Amino acid sequence: MDRIRIVGGNPLHGTIPISGAKNAALPLMIAGLLTPETLILDNVPRLADVAQLQRILGNHGVDIMSVGKRPGDGQYQGQTLQISAADIIDTTAPYELVSRMRASFWVIAPLLARMHEARVSLPGGCAIGTRPVDLLIMALEKLGASIDIDAGYVVAKAPGGLRGGTIDFPKVTVGGTHVAVMAAALAKGTTVITNAACEPEISDLADCLNKMGARISGAGTPRIEIEGVASLHGARHTVLPDRIEAGTYAIATAMTGGDVRLAGARPELLQSALDVLTEAGAEISSDAEGIRVVRNGHGIRPVQVTTAPFPGFPTDLQAQLMALMVRAQGASAITETIFENRFMHVQELARFGARISLDGETARIEGTSNLRGAPVMATDLRASVSLVIAGLAAEGETMINRVYHLDRGFERLEDKLKACGATIERIRE
C-alpha cells in the first residue's frame, strides 16, 4: 500500500494547475446514461473515483473511451471522455460496485428516466436516514416513481415514464438536487425544485444537460424549473475547475508561506474560503489566469468558521482549514454543520502536536508554532489532505499511510507540491 513521505519546512513557490472538479465530473458522467448519443466531457480529472465510475457505467453497457494527450496539451491537462450509452443492457447497479462510492447511487435517476426502471444498491450498506438517501428517493417519488426496498436494493419503477412535479427539499441536499435534475430532464411536464442546492457543480450539470437539449432554468439558485423533453442528444462539455482542490492548495500556501499561483482556479467558486484565508493573514488576488496566494513573513491569525452549503464555507475544506489553524497565533473554532463524524482527522493532527478539543459540532484549536512530523493514518479523502498540509509545515519527517484516499480526489498531488518546492515523495509498496 502506497505511503507519502514529507519533510516539512519549505515555503511553496510557483504555479499549481487546478484540475477538473471531481464533484462535477461524476454527475456529468452519470448524465451520459440519459441519451443514446455520445456525450464528450473535457477536463475530466484522472482520479480513482472517476475510474471506479467508469467501471460502474460499463456494467450498464456504457462504452467509455478516454482520449489520450494530444500535441500541445499541458502536463496536467485533464482527459477527454467519450461516453456512449446507446444500449443500456442492465438496469441493476450491484452492491459490490455501489458500495465503493456513494455518488454511484445517482445512476438511479437516469436509468429510471430513460428505461423506466432501476435496481440500485443502497450505497455502502448505509441506513436510509444516513446522509440523506431518503431525500433522493422522495424526489423520485414526487416524479411518479414507485419505490421499494428489497434486500438492500432500491427498486424504482415508472412504467409510463416519470411525470413532472413539485419537489420541496426539507433540507439542502447536493445529491438530491443532482438526482432530481437528471430525472426531471426526461419527465413529462414541468418540474419545480425548491430549496435546491446552489453548488457550482449543480449549475455545471444543468449547463451540460441544456447543451444536450434539456430545458432547465434557475440552476445555482434555490428554485430550479425543468420543462421535460422526450429525449436528449449528444453534446460536448468542459468540466469546471475543482474549487476544493484550489482551496486546498491555497490553504497549503498559507500554511507554509510563500507565493503560489493557482492556474485555472475561479475565485467565484470559492469566495467564502478565500475570505477566510484573507482573514487568517494570506494575501489573495485573482485575474483571468487564476488565483494568487501569498503569505510572506506574516503570522497566521485565528478565525471562527461554520461550514454551510454554497456559498458558505465548504465542509470539504473544513479539515484543511483546521490544519492551518493548528499554527495560528491564538484560539480558533470550527463548527461542522453538514456531516456528522467529520472530525476523524483530529486525532491524527494531534500526533503532530496539535491542541484540539471537541465540543459537539465544534472543534476548538489552540494554535502552536511547534509542529513535529509523525507517522499518521489517512481516514478519508479530505482528512488525508489535512495531514499533508500539517506535514508540509511540521519539523522533520511525516509518513502518511493509506494514501489511496488521496488518489480518490487529488490528481498527482505530490507532483504538484514538489514542483513548488515541497520535499514530498510517494513510496510505492
Q: In 2-139, where do the E strands start and end?
A: 3-7, 12-17, 38-44, 63-67, 79-84, 92-93, 117-121
pLDDT band at 405 (very low <50, low <70, confident <90, very high): confident
Q: What tens digit of pLDDT does each residue of 285-323 get?
A: 999 999 999 998 789 999 999 999 999 999 999 999 999
Residue 198 annotated to the active site = no
Share of the chain above pLDDT 70, in %: 96
Q: Is residue 196 part of a domain?
A: yes
Residue with cell 428516466: 113
Pairing state between β 166-168 and 190-194: parallel
Q: Grid coordinates in use for 391? A: 506535514
Q: Which of 238, 266, 290 marks a domain boundary?
A: 238
pLDDT in tens, 133-165: 899 999 999 999 999 999 989 999 999 999 999
For residue 97, give every residue at least 6 positions away whose Cβ sits within 8 Å of its Cβ, in sequence order, or none.
52, 55, 56, 59, 104, 121
Q: Mark the binding-site residues, compressed into ranges.
A: 22-23, 102, 131-135, 316, 338
Strands 331-335 and 304-306: parallel
User: What is each CA distance from 89 to 26, 175, 243, in whole angstroms?
Assistant: 21, 25, 35
List pLDDT tens digits, range 356-371: 999 999 999 999 989 9
- Does residue 21 lie within any of the structural domains? no
Which of the residues 126, 198, 208, 420 is marked catalytic? 126
Q: Provide the CATH number for the domain around residue 389.
A: 3.65.10.10
88 shares a domain with 43:
yes
Query: Domain residues for 362?
Result: 3-16+241-427
Q: Which residues are annotated as a binding site for phosphoenolpyruvate?
A: 22-23
pLDDT tens digits along 175-217: 999 999 999 999 999 999 999 999 999 999 999 999 999 999 9
**Are 288 and 210 within one domain?**
no
**pLDDT exceeds cutoff 70 at 116:** yes
Same domain, 297 and 312: yes
Whether residues 138 and 245 fall in one domain: no
Q: Which of 204, 238, 272 is the last residue of a domain?
A: 238
How far apart are the C-alpha atoms of 281 and 181, rounded to whole Å? 40
CA-to-CA distance for 183 and 141, rounded, in angstroms? 11
Confidence of residue 76 (pLDDT cuts 50, 70, 90): low
- State the binding site for UDP-N-acetyl-alpha-D-glucosamine: 102, 131-135, 316, 338
Q: Give yes or no: residues 78 and 8 share one domain.
A: no
CA distances from 351 to 157, 297, 384, 425 (A): 51, 26, 14, 20
Which of 43, 335, 23 minimizes the C-alpha distance to 177? Answer: 23
Tell me which of 211, 238, 265 is where a domain ends.
Answer: 238
